[in-house]
Amino acid sequence: MPRSSSRPIRKVALASVAAAALVAASLATTSQIATASTSPGSLTSLAPALKLNARLDKATGKVAVFVRTEGAGALSVDATAKGGSLSGRPQSSAAKNRVADIRRTNSAVTKAIASADPAVTTLYTTAYTVPGVAVIADASVLKAIAARSDVVSISPITQRSVPKPVTTKGEEAPLNSNDAIYTRTLNAWQQTGHTGTGINIAVIDTGLDYTHADFGGPGTTAAYDEALASTAAPASSLYDSAKFLGGTDFAGATYNADPDSDAYDPDPAPDANPIDGRGGGHGSHVAGTAAGFGENADKTTFTGDYGDLTTDSVNDMYIGPGSAPNSGLYSLKVFGDGGGSTDLTGAALDWVGQALTQGKNINVVNMSLGSDYSNPDDPDNAKVDALVARGVLPVMSAGNSGDFTDVGGSPANSENGLSVAAASSGSAVYDGIDVTAPAGISGTYNAQYSIAYTKPLTLRADVFVPSAAGSTGCAPFSSDDAARIAGKIVLLHWNDAALECGSVTRFTNATNAGAAGVLLGGSVNVFDAGISGNADIPGAEITKDAYAAILRTVDGGDTVTVSFKDSLRLYKSEIVPSLTDTLATFSSRGVHGSYDKIVKPDVAAPGVNVLSVLSGAGTGRTSESGTSMASPDAAGIAALVFEAHDGWTAKQVKADIMNTATHDLKDADGNLYSTISQGTGRIDALQAVTNQVTVRSDENEGLITASYGAVAVSKPLTAKRTLVLHNSGNTSQTYSVAYASRIAAPGVTFTVSASTVVVPARGDVTVTLTMKIPDPKALRKVIDPTQNATAGVGDAEIVRDFVASATGSVQFTPADSTRSPLRLSVFAAPKPISANTGATAVFAKKTSTTAVLGISGTTLKQGTGVQAYTGLTAAFVLGATSPVKTFPAGSPQQSLAGADLIAVGAASTAPLEKDRSDGILSFGVKTNGPIANPGVDGAPEVYIDTDGDGEADFVTYVTKSTTADATFVTTIDLVSGKAVDVEPFNADYAGVDVNTFDSSVAVLPVSLKALGFTSKSKKTSITYEVATESAYAPGLASTGSYVVDQTNAATFDVFAPSLWFSQKKSDDLGGVLLRDQSPGIAVHRTTASTKRILLLHLHNSVSKQSQIVSQKTK
């Protein structure tokens, strides 16, 4: 019955916020708790704001997979054979032999695939990090391959995509706000002389314009054109050999792995030239931030002593130096010249591994790319771990999807890598628009031009404001407005804090109405996220003040005329102190400890309005915002630390950067951001370079942070972390020790075992951190004060999803004030759990129609309002059970356990309604393991056959909002493809805690009317099956299906179920959820039935969240 698909469930975007801002909006600012209507079907209008499941298509047959072959990678073999220092030494014979063995195995596997599928595309082979071969092949041929003894696992490749970068040119900007000053990198150059000399950074991205003056190249467009025209290794005349050390292009000019793109070309054509293509630019901007030489005011390459620079001289530069200006750069190009998507990141990581075995010195890898919501046990993270083990620190952008629970994905959520959030340095950069009439408001106003329009800006036109007050342009314009819009610049309302829709939709509607251009009236005076628009018409967002002035004038009856000009791109820069050390609104909230207690990000670095290289422009510069810009800033600082601390491991460098990131990020009200928003804090290069003492949690060794993860609490709890301080210096260091809270949680305390510690020279000392929860009943669901309690989805204002947590840091204050203070982040997400069980429902006699199903044990009833925890149960007629599955070695076991179905059932409230079609049909699902975040990966889908023809007519599944952190249940008509119903996840009609996260049970409601039932319906029996899908589905390699597990079909009468359930004390919950308390649940029937009951205890521990109980007659 389910209609499976081989299409990817997500695409991974480079972290340039200009594109990401189109996907995720910040939340509404109201503090008033509100909920959508509790009636079934009332949320259906929200469907356009939800993420519809892209996998509900038939399989295409072709899948991109990585076939992992047996044995260790040559990188670890080489390190073991060499021992001691590894750089500068040729590849060991042991590594050569291992590579030969791997290649023979990979060749045999590839030939076996090709013999069954002659049209197979081999993307790449790996021998150094994780052995294997990446192919695009027909799924049907891979089942036999998976059975081979030399194959460990077959897993789908996470596709990565590149958004369009900001392309505004900076010819007229009077100030170059350089983040080297903000992060004290300039101080590190001045006081220590460390500038990255002898340290090298590999940048995996869109390529590198090595001809640019910032990298020591000729600095002419002619040189760039010459480089772009060649596929051979770059001519030595086109680059500075001290800066550009080499690399390769894995993709070729036309490669694009996105099957939805018109430019789809999944066959890479690798060559030796990693030049950044005309559709790229992202990689060059990133590389300049990490290790550009800098350009003088006259646009020549800076060749002076970085230690002699001052704040004024840096600000006078046309492009400021990168964090490690004397570090070398390797460029590994994994995208085609037009951007798009890629499956080639693994090849680039393995290239680094190979280079290391050959004696090349690569210390840092920057990856300003990532995937929203992918889990920390994503198999691709194993390649990151292999490089860390060899001494290389991968530094990765945290993502640009904003304040959404767990949205920060892989590879940035790998335990051992360094994940970087975006902070604002207070730098504000503006484009300008000219208001030429009327005279009373004429002048240049602050704005930011749209990205997608790349033609010269020559538009001069009158402004038109649509008839609807506050019109957003999210819907097509009326015919009256369209007639008046033609040839005009249409002014639309744009709420930066809660986008009603993206700029692409608005520009498209304006284009269709004949507009010459678009102005978006913003709600802020300083921008931290770009707008895309479209390629057809120009446009700009204007500041709140500019919007007010223009709107006031138009409302007064005057005609306003506006000009867009290229000469006003980046016309103005300034420092806004109130924005300094704030978190960028787009910066992704990281994972909350569901997987191996991993929490991210690790640190924050400047990522707003960062000026760096404009690829292809010879000497040009551009301003971009995003965690893509924050990551290379931290990567460059990592290079400085490697230089300053010869012999340190990658984990020591990571710990040092985290420990010395002692600058807190705060919101406008002074609230500290959580560890999973800002990491330890904003980085400080001077402290990182000069520090000699590092601290980590022994229990979270690779993570560094003292994380307790998601903690289920049923009784008094004491949990400890051993904090290990290591002194690499030659003198002992004394610190006072204290815990400092960021977000306090009622009922949770943290204490340290010592108030003072002395760390001996070249030695270690430990401090014990203890978390105590003496009384679980004292726990409350308290929101992070930097988060908004409600959010807008479509026209509704809803209670947002969030994970209650207790976060802070252990702070080490040195007795010697010349030493750096240190801190170690602390995170825990505790929640109380119930311990309830249900008894057999006993009917007094055969003719009895009601029985009581008793509930006993310990329930939850603590707190008030949105902070309350209340034990809840949902009861269903058992439909099917499924055995526990085992999954292949090397696969993400925890993610797949959350997709392993155990039991499913159905329930209907129709018998409780006067008009039975007003009822709610709900499905209960129990999985073997918890789902960290439903609607992201592995969540259940229910396929419903309402007409009895054996084909599913509807599918009901869990989905996320695109504009708010909220989870819903959407039902799709599989014939029309349209969403017919949207309901709250877990049937949360009352806005109470339903234990959304880290739970192994789910309730999926759907309105009976949405399924086509009316009061006159005669055929009311349905057949349903439940399936789970995951990007990591083992069957993807053999069947092309994302399905992990699937139940047998079950039948259920939605109007006259064999059993139905009620509880008088729970009428306020909407009819589906019942309170988990005495005396229990009323079980109803019309005739005797042998059906069993599936009970889901929403707040029990994972292993005890479901029961199958009987009902009988005395």
Model confidence over 563-586: pLDDT tens digits?
A: 999 999 988 888 888 889 999 999
Q: Can you name the residues that pair with 1061 across neighbouring β-strands?
A: 1083
Q: What is the mean pLDDT of residues 863-869?
A: 94
Q: What pLDDT is recorded for position 24?
A: 27
- On whether the CB atoms of residues 902 and 1047 are closer than 8 A, the answer is no
In a domain, 1079, yes or no: yes
Whether 375 and 471 map to the same domain: the answer is: no
Domain count, the chain: 4
Range of the domain at 80: 62-157
Collapsed DSSP state (helix, strand, coil) of residue 319? strand
In a domain, 738, yes or no: no
Whether 148 and 170 map to the same domain: the answer is: no
In a domain, 134, yes or no: yes
> Final residue of a domain: which of 111, 141, 157?
157
What is the β-pairing status of strands 1021-1029 and 940-945? antiparallel
Q: Categorize the per-residue pLDDT at 34 as very low, low, confident or very high, splitting at 50, 70 and 90.
A: very low
- On whether the CB atoms of residues 627 and 400 are closer than 8 A, the answer is yes
- On whether the CB atoms of residues 925 and 1105 are closer than 8 A, the answer is no
Whether 412 and 460 map to the same domain: the answer is: no
Whether 432 and 421 map to the same domain: the answer is: no
Q: What is the mean pLDDT of residues 820-846?
A: 97
Q: What pLDDT is recorded for position 554?
A: 93
Whether 1019 and 879 map to the same domain: the answer is: yes
Looking at 524-621, list the stretches that DSSP marks H as alpha helix, in order from N- to C-terminal side. Answer: 544-555
Instruction: Verify cis geometry, omega within 30 degrees of 0, for the bond prior to 438.
Output: yes
Whether 287 and 145 map to the same domain: the answer is: no
Lowest-confidence region among 61-75, 370-384, 648-662:
370-384
- On whether the CB atoms of residues 547 and 521 are closer than 8 A, the answer is yes
CATH number of domain containing 509: 3.50.30.30
Whether 405 and 432 map to the same domain: the answer is: no
Lowest-confidence region among 309-313, 423-427, 509-513, 871-875:
423-427
Q: How high is the mean pLDDT of the chain?
A: 90
Whether 191 and 316 map to the same domain: the answer is: yes
- On whether the CB atoms of residues 578 and 478 are closer than 8 A, the answer is no
Collapsed DSSP state (helix, strand, coil) of residue 716? coil
For helices 93-116 and 74-82, what crossing angle results, to 10°?
170
In a domain, 27, yes or no: no
pLDDT per residue as tens digits for the range 116-160 = 999 999 999 999 999 999 999 988 888 789 889 999 888 888 776
The answer to whether residue 875 scores a pLDDT higher than 80 is: yes
Q: What is the pTM of this model?
A: 0.90
- On whether the CB atoms of residues 825 and 680 are closer than 8 A, the answer is yes
CATH number of domain containing 125: 3.30.70
Burial class from Cβ neighbours inside 10 Å (0-12, 13-18, 19+) for residue 70 reads middle
Nearest partner of 307 among 157, 232, 195, 201, judged by Cα: 195
Residue linked to tokens 């990567």:
635
Whether 196 and 310 map to the same domain: the answer is: yes
Whether 378 and 269 map to the same domain: the answer is: yes
Looking at 559-714, list the stretches that DSSP marks H as alpha helix, in order from N- to C-terminal side. Answer: 627-644, 650-659, 675-678, 685-690
Q: What pLDDT is recorded for position 185?
A: 98
The answer to whether residue 44 scores a pLDDT higher than 90 is: no
Whether 913 and 1045 map to the same domain: the answer is: yes
> Final residue of a domain: which of 540, 570, 600?
570
For helices 345-357 and 381-389, what crossing angle results, to 10°?
20
Q: Categorize the per-residue pLDDT at 211 as very low, low, confident or very high, splitting at 50, 70 and 90.
A: very high
Nearest partner of 583 among 779, 768, 784, judged by Cα: 784
* Chain centroid to CA 967: 16
Question: Which residues have CB under 8 Å from 58's CB, separation 6+?
Answer: 3, 4, 5
In a domain, 623, yes or no: yes
Collapsed DSSP state (helix, strand, coil) of residue 382? helix
CATH number of domain containing 229: 3.40.50.200
> Final residue of a domain: which of 646, 678, 710?
678
In a domain, 367, yes or no: yes
In a domain, 41, yes or no: no
Whether 351 and 219 map to the same domain: the answer is: yes
Q: What is the mean pLDDT of residues 519-539?
A: 90
